Structure 1
Amino acid sequence: MRSLQWLGMARHGESTGNVASHDAAARGLEAVDMTLRDADVPLSQLGREQAAALGRRLAALPSEERPTAVVCSPYLRARDTARLALEQLAGPPPVVLDERLRDRELGVLFMLTQHGVQARHPEEAERKRRLGKFYYRPPAGESWADVALRLRSVLADLDREHPGGRVLVVAHDAIVVLTRYIIERLSEEELLDIERTVVANASLTVWAREDEGLRLVTFNDTSHLKDAGLL
């Protein structure tokens, strides 16, 4: 039975939510000043330029190495990243949306800074310290383990539906890191060590088929952004 030959994962470009979150943290605020649903947060202008640079990186690949399928989180910032990137390719494959690729849901902690969580929900900050980042589930939200569970089914479907194919996934930083956790069979400690390095906006992570499994080729690659002067 043939399996997926190449898996690429791109984080969405910089969003207006990323900009607002960084600003709120820098100013010591408790909450991020945004009223949009997480699903509706758009790209910033820089994020749009990053998405185009990602597309040029993919377009520069030999034709036999370019994605044959694209699967995307339904969140606006991911959809627009995929659309803008694929505009750089001649005859790109259609984009398929999959809600299982959405960002981690934070529940009552949504749009709170670390300072805000400590100030407004000190019991949750303590519970997270006690349970650890991987297993902590905020009220009405998801743990990292919850996200891994839905992601396992996505990866199994991609392998079954794209035998011999090359699939590009456009999603979120948690999805990229947890894909490493699943494919590479990492431990909780190994995952959290990797997670200390921020997955950059519009970065590219790639696995390629080797023998019976997928092998990591590049992680969190931003060379295309550096070449475009976007870092």
Structure 2
Amino acid sequence: MPLTITVVRHGQSESNVAFEEAFRAGRAVALERPDSEAELTPLGREQATALGRHLAAGDPPELVLCSPYRRTVRTWELVAAELGADPEVRLEPRLRDHDMGRWSGMNLLALRERFPGQEENLTARLYAGFRPPGGESYPDVADRVREVVEELRTGHAGLRILIVAHDSVVLMFKHVIEDVPIDSVEAFGPVGNASVSVWRGTRPEVFNEMGHLPGKRPR
């Protein structure tokens, strides 16, 4: 069993901002850029640097598994610049974000316009196993996270592990490690950008902690 598994979310991305602005304005948005190519914003880079300084204050990771998406890789690069350590680093495709298939890049209003009658599937059925066209359900995400956790348990005993990933992946780590029912983990969100969650064995030490970020207070 790893000594600790620390899971962090990437810093704020351009797609995060686009969705937040569309939500506030009450308008539809459908992003053209593939989800995997979303860049960090200036704030996201600042958050990643602050995250790196926070992690540098503790024991450094010995193995880093990072989602291959651009925003997670860039987050790790900025964290690494602050760590002063040289852990083994692997890009891990199983830590990619929840794949929404043909619905990728669309907010709820855009979904209503383009796929009438599908709103309930997005808001209520993803945790129950519904897959968007060409995409994944949350149990699908949980299955790939579970594979990663089992490999860490059997092959990396006693190590400090750092995971750099996405909000959906953070929630699925909670589901898998703590055996929280999958239809209950949504209540632990939203998972903040550059937040930190730490497990020692199956015991959570912190979850979704953001007190290290500019303008945030420790909880």
TM-score of Structure 1 vs Structure 2, range by shorter chain = over 0.9
For residues 130 and 222 of structure 1, what CA distance do their matches in structure 2 show? 28
Which segments of 5 or more consecutive residues in structure 1 lack a partner in the other structure? Answer: none
Contact 1:106–1:138 (8 Å) recurs in 2: yes
Deviation at 1:230, TM superposition (A): 6.5
Matched, 1:81 2:75: yes
State the AA in 2 paired with 1:205. Answer: S
For residues 70 and 103 of structure 2, what CA distance do their matches in structure 1 show? 21
Matched, 1:202 2:200: no
Deviation at 1:127, TM superposition (A): 3.9
Aligned pairs for 1:92-111 within 5 A: 92-111=86-105
SS state at 1:25 partner:
helix
SS state at 1:135 partner:
coil
| Structure-2 residue corresponding to 1:222 | 210
Contact 1:124–1:138 (8 Å) recurs in 2: no
| Structure-1 residue corresponding to 2:116 | 122
Deviation at 1:188, TM superposition (A): 3.2
Structure 2 CA distance for partners of 1:165 and 1:131, relative to 1, 3 Å: same
Residues matched between the structures, number: 217
Matched, 1:52 2:40: no
| Structure-2 residue corresponding to 1:192 | 186
Contact 2:5–2:160 (8 Å) recurs in 1: yes
For residues 192 and 134 of structure 1, what CA distance do their matches in structure 2 show? 12
Percent identity of paired positions between Structure 1 and Structure 2: 37
State the AA in 2 paired with 1:198. Answer: P
Contact 1:135–1:144 (8 Å) recurs in 2: yes
SS state at 1:70 partner:
strand
SS state at 1:88 partner:
helix
Contact 1:181–1:191 (8 Å) recurs in 2: yes
| Structure-1 residue corresponding to 2:24 | 26
For residues 211 and 123 of structure 2, what CA distance do their matches in structure 1 show? 36
Taking structure 2 as the reference length, what is the TM-score of the superposition? 0.92
SS state at 2:83 partner:
coil
For residues 132 and 147 of structure 1, what CA distance do their matches in structure 2 show? 11
For residues 190 and 201 of structure 1, what CA distance do their matches in structure 2 show? 21
Deviation at 1:159, TM superposition (A): 2.0
| Structure-2 residue corresponding to 1:43 | 40
State the AA in 1 paired with 2:147. Answer: S
Structure 2 CA distance for partners of 1:176 and 1:129, relative to 1, 3 Å: closer
Structure 2 CA distance for partners of 1:126 and 1:50, relative to 1, 3 Å: closer
Which segments of 5 or more consecutive residues in structure 2 lack a partner in the other structure? Answer: none
For residues 98 and 203 of structure 1, what CA distance do their matches in structure 2 show? 19
State the AA in 2 paired with 1:48. Answer: R
Of 148, 151, 155 in structure 2, the residue corresponding to residue 154 of structure 1 is 148
Deviation at 1:129, TM superposition (A): 6.0
State the AA in 2 paired with 1:17. Answer: S
Matched, 1:181 2:167: no
Contact 1:46–1:230 (8 Å) recurs in 2: no
For residues 187 and 165 of structure 2, what CA distance do their matches in structure 1 show? 21
Runs of 4+ in 1 over 6 A off after TM superposition: none
For residues 63 and 183 of structure 2, what CA distance do their matches in structure 1 show? 32
Which deviates the most, 134-143 or 162-171? 134-143
State the AA in 1 paired with 2:34. Answer: R
Structure 2 CA distance for partners of 1:20 and 1:155, relative to 1, 3 Å: same
